[in-house]
Amino acid sequence: MTEARRRRIEEVLRRRQPDLTVLLENVHKPHNLSAILRSCDAVGVLEAHAVNPTGGVPTFNETSGGSHKWVYLRVHPDIQTAIGHLREQGFRIYATALREDAQDFREVDYTQSTAILLGAEKWGVSEEALALSHGAIKIPMLGMVQSLNVSVAAAVILFEAQRQRLKAGLYEHPRLNPELYQRVLEDWLRK
Ligand code: SAM
């Protein structure tokens, strides 16, 4: 490992945001999962979450640009377990949903601990997941087509979170506690 590579790894790790994440409910297409992880990496998500009913390990493809190496993905057996885990850690969960009563995604304060819940390509977020969330958010759609591709929706919302966090100075100092920082650093240096 060169000194430059080590420095780059440390710089990126210093910008990781342990209190910003996504929860993917049955998003199963490898290119969508990969594209979402790539956006997660770009905004500094440390760990993403997914519910995979088949229990299998999700598959990535070249769309990830290798980002799946740098964003941890925790797979939960079902949506109750996933949301319970995030709530225990103090996350507010915002379900993306194309509903009349969902609020505009730009109205949310993403400088707080936030998990963005995204739904399956065909069916969207389940009613159960919606009921367990703190609120529903949507990206206004003004065209003929009703919804965005899930990875595009994830990127739009994540980059609004990045904008708010940049403004709040949340990328200026390490956000991981020293013990976690050290653990992740050692893991990344092995990659
Ligand atoms: N028929 C599904 C529905 O009504 O939810 C469409 C699912 S959409 C193709 C897949 C996922 O992308 C959604 O579950 C949501 O997470 C996200 N999504 C797509 N368009 C969105 C929008 N305008 N606002 C918020 N999330 C959106």
Answer whether 18 contacts ligand 1 (Cβ < 6 A).
Answer: no
Contact 189 CB / ligand 1 (< 6 Å): no
138 CB under 6 A from ligand 1? yes
Q: Is pLDDT of 64 > 80?
A: no
pLDDT at residue 186, as a whole number: 96
The residue contributing the CA closest to ligand 1 atom 1 is 123
The Cα–Cα gap between 81 and 4 comes to: 40
* DSSP conformation letters of 93-120: EEEE---TTPEEGGGS-TTSSEEEEE-B
> What's the pLDDT score for residue 59?
72
User: Is 100 annotated for ligand binding?
Assistant: no
Q: Mean pLDDT of all residues in the chain?
A: 94
Residues 6+ apart with CB under 8 A from 163: none
CA 101 / ligand 1 centre spacing (Å) = 14
Q: What is the pLDDT of residues 23-37, one digit of tens each?
A: 999 998 889 999 999
119 Cβ below 6 A of ligand 1: yes
Per residue in 134-169, pLDDT (tens digit) is 999 999 999 999 999 999 999 999 999 999 999 999
